[in-house]
């Protein structure tokens, strides 16, 4: 990576105090970029504050579905690169009351891109779509490829599919904005503090001895990619897009290409701490459970990223387990 490229670059990260946003900000601060970010409601427990990264960034507090709030930020700044990561990401929240998810994920995206389109100053825009934007494909179609059309049905998935399509429109010849769209599989690692997500929930249960409530029988297939690999991809694609207009409108998938059943992840983490009895009880409860409102089989393929940029993941799930336990133990000591 060309470290010099990032020095003094003016960056905006929407969702900077989110899981991925705070990990990205951490790296950009190290690279001496000039980092600004949008935060929704201050989350004191975010890695951004927990690790003191916020002190080195300029933060704007507000809602991306508020057009005028966003416009003011762009009036004051001349950003070189934008990472659009802000979104309502909790599947359960989206399923029970989707309105805020539409507002943040769809309206927030067209507000942002409309403002950028009117100024035409930004040279590189990364929009975080998701593997969920594809919706459900039969098991035989796995892994998902970038040319698959969206078959999204569930609210979170539809919200990401809409944001994805809107971004495609803005990158088309009609508007020609420098946008790359990313569709990643499940991301995990330090800083993920949505305890409705599988890995944080398991960490909490194992470290703090809380009850883990499985959402299904564990046969669902997912692919987990470590957050440092994601930060690596973001830095590569945004800097390449900055210099190469031909990359406009490209979509990149990424995962580990190592699909796992949910059951195998649960087993691996409990057994790492030798909690056999607790695991046995959980597996028993899981037998009769059925997942509702979620895609059953999903994993990505990173071969396009490899073809374009020779990128492949550096982190294996097994090797990240000790890092996870260390980080979450520290976190729970501080925030109980
Ligand atoms: N974590 C994953 O497994 C994963 C996988 C694929 C794609 N993604 C996408 O990556 C992005 C980042 O995900 P994350 O895991 O960091 O999620 P996160 O919830 O930790 O971070 C999202 C941030 O967006 C903010 N936000 C939500 N609504 C907002 C609004 N209306 N205005 C301003 N800010 C708002 C939240 O406060 C939060 O800080 C999201 O777009 C998500 O869809 C995540």
pLDDT in the model for residue 289: 81
pLDDT in the model for residue 42: 79
Mutate to test the pocket of ligand 1, among 12, 13, 16, 18 (most ligand atoms within 8 A of CB): 18
Ligand 1 atom with least separation from CA of 192:
20
pLDDT in the model for residue 294: 74
The alpha carbon of 319 and the centre of ligand 1 are apart by a number of angstroms equal to 25
Q: What stretches in the chain show pLDDT beneath 70?
A: none
pTM: 0.96
Q: From the CB of 234, is ligand 1 less than 6 Å away?
A: no
Q: What is the residue with the minimal CA distance to atom 5 of ligand 1? A: 186
Tokens of 215: 């959402």
Phi and psi dihedrals of 160, rounded to 5? -70, -35
Phi and psi dihedrals of 257, rounded to 5? 55, 25
Q: What is the residue with the minimal CA distance to atom 37 of ligand 1? A: 40
> 221-222 and 260-261 as β-strands: parallel, antiparallel, unpaired?
antiparallel
Q: From the CB of 40, is ligand 1 less than 6 Å away?
A: yes
In the chain, the domains with their CATH numbers are: 3-188+226-255+300-314 (3.40.50.720)
The Cβ of residue 211 has, within 10 Å, a number of other Cβ atoms equal to 10
User: Among residues 156, 188, 224, 299, which one is catalytic?
Assistant: 156
pLDDT single digits (tens) 295-321: 788 899 999 999 999 999 999 999 999
Can you list the alpha helix ranges (DSSP code H) found in 251-302?
Answer: 262-272, 276-286
């Amino acid at each position: 990576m060309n470290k010099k490229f990032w020095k003094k670059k003016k960056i905006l990260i929407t969702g900077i105090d989110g899981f991925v946003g705070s990990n990205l900000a951490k790296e950009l601060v190290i690279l001496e970029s000039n980092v600004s970010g949008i935060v929704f409601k201050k989350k004191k427990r975010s890695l951004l504050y927990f690790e003191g990264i916020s002190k080195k960034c300029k933060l704007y507090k507000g809602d991306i579905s508020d057009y005028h709030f966003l416009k003011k930020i762009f009036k004051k700044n001349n950003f070189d690169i934008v990472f659009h990561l802000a979104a309502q990401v909790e599947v359960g929240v989206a399923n029970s009351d989707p309105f805020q998810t539409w507002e943040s994920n769809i309206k927030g995206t067209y507000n942002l891109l409309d403002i950028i389109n009117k100024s035409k100053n930004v040279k590189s825009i990364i929009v975080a779509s998701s593997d969920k934007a594809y919706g459900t494909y039969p098991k035989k179609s796995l892994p998902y490829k970038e040319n698959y059309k969206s078959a999204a049905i569930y609210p979170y998935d539809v919200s990401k599919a809409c944001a994805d399509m809107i971004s495609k429109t803005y990158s088309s010849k009609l508007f020609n904005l420098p946008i790359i769209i990313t569709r990643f599989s499940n991301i995990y690692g330090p800083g993920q503090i949505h305890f409705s997500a599988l890995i944080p929930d398991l960490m909490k249960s194992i470290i703090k001895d809380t009850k883990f409530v499985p959402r299904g029988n564990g046969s669902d297939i997912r692919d987990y990619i470590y957050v440092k690999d994601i930060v690596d991809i973001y830095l590569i694609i945004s800097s390449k897009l900055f210099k190469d207009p031909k990359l406009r409108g490209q979509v990149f998938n990424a995962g580990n290409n190592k699909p796992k059943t949910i059951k195998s992840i649960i087993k691996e983490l409990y057994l790492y701490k030798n909690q056999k009895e607790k695991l046995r009880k959980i597996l028993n409860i899981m037998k009769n459970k059925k997942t509702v409102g979620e895609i059953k089989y999903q994993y990505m393929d990173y071969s396009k990223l490899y073809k374009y940029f020779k990128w492949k993941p550096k982190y294996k799930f097994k090797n990240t387990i000790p890092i996870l336990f260390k980080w979450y133990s520290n976190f729970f000591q501080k925030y109980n």
